[in-house]
Chains A and B, each alone.
Chain A
Amino acid sequence: DTEVTQTPKHLVMGMTNKKSLKCEQHMGHRAMYWYKQKAKKPPELMFVYSYEKLSINESVPSRFSPECPNSSLLNLHLHALQPEDSALYLCASSPPGTGRNQPQHFGDGTRLSIL
């Protein structure tokens, strides 16, 4: 079992829909991440939150909107997605410290399909 919980596990949505992905951790980690992973590819970093502030946005299109309501929660709001956005979306967290130097704990991911 993973200590980072993501919901939903699967999501199918149309290109005009609005939906949100949710991530929760209770390990006291202060850095949280969103990654996108296509089949047979490595995870690609999308966003990093450090102490609830957005610290990295890897040039992600505005149809993806992250939110960090508190130190345990991370959301990814989706709107007007394209078929090429279909992928596994992974949330991760890491202990306090320099995020890129800390081991990351991944959730099970949300498998997203855009029709």
Chain B
Amino acid sequence: GQQVMQIPQYQHVQEGEDFTTYCNSSTTLSNIQWYKQRPGGHPVFLIQLVKSGEVKKQKRLTFQFGEAKKNSSLHITATQTTDVGTYFCAGPVGTALIFGKGTTLSVSS
């Protein structure tokens, strides 16, 4: 069935380095959402992208939605230890919201 694919599965960076996670769908999505789950925590909604080519920023986080609305990315500039966690993209598939497998980010100081 249709999936929302996400890479990489894991990423380790030194504090201050940049980080990017990518999300892809085989079909056009009406919107894409991003969530962050800290270790031992629950998913927390970060942002929703709706428009083709949309770019949104939240401080050091930049979110993009592809022109074809089939892919998205989350870029973190100058990572901090507080950025540690798993970042999930999620897109509507059929009648439900389907999560990608997530990218787990670890940061060493």
A-side residues, CB < 8 A to B, are: 2, 40-43, 45, 48, 55-56, 58, 90, 98-101, 103-109
Contact = CB atoms under 8 A, between A and B. Distances in A.
B99 A100 contact: no
A27 B58 CA distance: 24
B100 A103 contact: no
Contacts of A90: 42-43
B85 interface: no
Interface of B: 30-31, 33, 41-45, 48, 88, 92-102, 104
Contacts of A105: 45
B45 A45 contact: no
B10 to A, nearest CB: 10
B42 A41 contact: no
B96 A103 contact: no
A99 B31 CA distance: 12
A109 B40 CA distance: 10
Contact of A106 (B43, B94, B96, B102): B43
A106 B88 CA distance: 14
16 contacts: A41-B101, A42-B100, A43-B88, A43-B99, A56-B95, A56-B96, A58-B96, A90-B43, A99-B97, A100-B92, A100-B94, A100-B97, A106-B42, A106-B43, A108-B42, A109-B42
